[in-house]
């Protein structure tokens, strides 16, 4: 049995592990997940006694590893690396025999007993036929199984495997994990680091997820893994799809706002001129609880956050984009507006919000999952009602809009209220050349039609020396609100 208690480790001033607690029982296959730099390899090296300068305790079968000699530690823990590059042309059997070295004296050679142990390890993994083949001539999957056999030859009951499938093809990934999973039926404890959460969902009995040097989740995979954790660990959206063969974790390809200088400039001009943020804030003030601490989720440049400030005790303007948050921080801010760079769909604040606002941000399942975890009061969502693409002629814009949101809440049995706002969502321009730059970025029309001269007929001329041109967009915006306590507890499993 492995016990890790409040493990901390730093490389100089860089803290890598921050109070990690972990336990692995005999017969258990534990997957350790986390992004690059999360601390997985450092955790393994501490357990193996290779990084003695840690704080906390690591025990194997009740023995503190810091008190064990390398020979004694080798009897308890075996390590299977990702790959092993051999200079000499060892056979598979010769390589596996190296796992018995801790049993021998300084000048002793493996004998009949050690050869029997090595052959038994090869047979246990179903690769006895590889015994006299050159290790260098084996496939990646076959080599990985030989390395596992070498670990078994140590006759240690705790196996540490560092990303054993990272360099393998699809078939060999499955074959290696099937063999590893079978070892737990014989009482081995396996701690396996992995970059593929799908493998953990299929094979793990427990998942330990590391994020920023801490344990972000620990439990059976169907309970520990969810969309919020994927965002937190890897910074990308994923969908969990239930099939007859289990849960499929599918990455979601989404368009990401690229905060170029032009994008920031055009959006900031729209916020300043068209008045939509002020109108939305006024409507929201009628549904949000008085004196609330509100999270403006996916705030972008923070126009709505600033407009909400007079109506709220505090506004947390949350967005993943560093560029967007820097723009907001550069403005004169009311004392009750707090810019916060974070992935709000995966975040868990120290103190739950009284209310959350999702303005043109998030799918239904993302909104419900985030609000259920972070909010104790009102959840308000603003969605576009129409499907017309605002900056293109006669083109639909497929998206999950207001009607789809209403339908999804009804299907889930979540009571809500709603109204439709008629808002000016237009775009001001400082020149016709600016208008051409904007439309070439955002329109789906033929680029040949997007010259300054051709666009002039689509714009309004205004008596405004700073913004003499305006593209009017009068658009119905659906406002919908409900209570976070009405969201089903199992919403994250959907």
Q: Say whether pLDDT at 378 is over 60.
A: yes
* Contact (Cβ atoms closer than 8 angstroms) between residue 364 and residue 412: no
Cβ distance 207 to 221 under 8 Å? yes
Structure confidence by residue, pLDDT tens digits, 363-375: 898 899 999 999 9
197-209: per-residue pLDDT in tens?
999 999 999 999 9
Q: Do domains 2-251 and 261-426+473-493 have the same CATH topology?
A: yes
Q: What H or E segment, with its residue span, contains residue 376?
A: strand 375-384
Tracing tokens 């992935």 back to the chain, one arrives at 343
Q: Calculate mean pLDDT across residues 381-395.
A: 76
Is the pLDDT at 400 greater than 70, yes or no?
no
The H or E element that residue 161 is part of is strand 158-162
pLDDT digits (tens, 9 = 90+) for 240-272: 888 888 899 988 755 456 678 888 999 999 999
pLDDT number for residue 44: 95
Q: Going by DSSP bridges, is the β-strand pair 55-60/63-64 parallel, antiparallel, or unpaired?
A: antiparallel
For the chain, give percent helix, strand, coil, nearest 5: 40, 25, 35
* Domain 261-426+473-493 = CATH 3.30.930.20: no
Q: Where are the domains of the chain?
A: 2-251, 261-426+473-493
- Mean predicted lDDT score pLDDT of the chain: 88
**What's the length of the chain?**
494
Q: pLDDT band for position 20 (50/70/90)?
A: very high
pLDDT tops 60 at residue 107: no
Pairing of strands 189-193, 29-33: parallel
Reply yes or no on whether the pLDDT at 436 is more than 50. yes
Most confident residue range from 60-74, 136-150, 300-314: 300-314
Largest CA distance in the chain: 97
Is pLDDT at 387 greater than 70 in this prediction?
A: no
Q: What would be the CATH architecture of the domain defined by 2-251?
A: 3-Layer(aba) Sandwich (3.40)
Bridge partners of 209, per DSSP, are 33, 217
Q: Is the pTM of this model over 0.75?
A: no
Report the distance separating Cα 59 and Cα 68, nearest Å. Answer: 10
| φ, ψ (nearest 5 deg) of residue 201 | -60, -35
pLDDT category, 143, cuts 50, 70, 90?
confident
Give me the helices (H) in 256-363, please.
261-273, 276-285, 303-308, 322-329
| Tens-place pLDDT, residues 49-93 | 999 899 999 999 999 999 998 888 888 998 888 766 666 788 888
Q: For the chain, what percent of residues have pLDDT higher than 90?
A: 56
pLDDT band at 493 (very low <50, low <70, confident <90, very high): very low
Structural contact between residues 374 and 357, judged by C-beta atoms closer than 8 angstroms: no
Residue 425 banded pLDDT, cuts 50, 70, 90: very high
């Amino acid at each position: 049995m492995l016990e890790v208690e409040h493990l901390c480790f730093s490389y100089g001033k860089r803290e890598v592990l921050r109070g990690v607690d972990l336990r692995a029982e005999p017969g258990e296959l534990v997957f350790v997940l986390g992004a690059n730099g999360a601390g997985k390899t450092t955790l393994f090296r501490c357990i193996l006694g290779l990084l003695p300068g840690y704080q906390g305790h690591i025990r194997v079968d009740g023995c503190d590893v810091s008190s064990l000699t390398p020979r004694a530690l080798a009897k308890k823990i075996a390590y299977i690396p990702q790959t092993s590059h051999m200079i000499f042309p060892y056979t598979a059997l010769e390589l596996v025999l190296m796992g018995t070295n801790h049993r021998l004296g300084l000048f002793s050679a493996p004998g009949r007993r050690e050869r029997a142990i090595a052959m038994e390890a090869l047979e246990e993994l179903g690769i006895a036929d590889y015994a006299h083949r050159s290790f260098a001539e084996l496939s990646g999957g076959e080599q990985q199984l030989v390395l596992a056999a070498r670990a078994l030859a140590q006759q240690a009951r705790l196996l540490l495997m560092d990303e054993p499938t990272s360099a393998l093809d699809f078939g060999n990934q499955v074959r290696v994990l099937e063999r590893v999973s079978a070892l737990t039926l014989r009482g081995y404890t396996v701690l396996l680091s992995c970059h593929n959460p799908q493998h953990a969902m299929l094979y793990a009995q427990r998942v330990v997820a590391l994020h920023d040097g801490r344990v972000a989740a620990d439990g059976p995979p169907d309970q520990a893994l969810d969309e919020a954790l994927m965002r937190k660990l890897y910074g990308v959206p994923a969908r969990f799809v239930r099939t007859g063969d289990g849960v499929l974790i599918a990455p979601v390809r989404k368009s990401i706002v690229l905060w170029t200088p032009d994008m920031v400039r055009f959006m900031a001009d729209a916020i300043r001129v068209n008045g939509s943020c002020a109108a939305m804030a006024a409507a929201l003030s009628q549904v949000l609880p008085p004196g609330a601490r509100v999270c403006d989720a996916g705030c972008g440049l923070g126009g709505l956050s600033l407009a909400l400030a007079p109506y709220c005790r505090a506004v947390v303007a949350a967005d993943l984009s560093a560029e967007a948050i820097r723009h907001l921080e550069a403005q004169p801010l009311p004392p009750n507006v707090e810019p916060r760079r974070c992935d709000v769909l995966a975040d868990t604040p120290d103190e739950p919000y009284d209310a959350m606002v999702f303005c043109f941000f998030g799918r239904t399942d993302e909104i419900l999952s985030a609000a259920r975890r972070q909010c104790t009061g009102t959840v308000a969502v603003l969605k576009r009602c129409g499907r017309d693409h605002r900056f293109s002629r006669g083109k639909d814009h497929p998206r999950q809009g207001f009607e789809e949101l209403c339908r999804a809440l009804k299907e889930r049995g979540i009571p809500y209220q709603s109204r439709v706002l008629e808002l000016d969502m237009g775009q001001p321009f400082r020149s016709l050349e600016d208008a051409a730059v904007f439309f070439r970025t955002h329109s789906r029309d033929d680029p040949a039609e997007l010259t300054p001269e051709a666009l002039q007929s689509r714009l309004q001329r205004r008596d405004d020396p700073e913004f003499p041109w305006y593209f009017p967009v009068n658009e119905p915006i659906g406002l919908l609100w409900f209570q976070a306590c009405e969201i089903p507890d199992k919403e994250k499993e959907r």
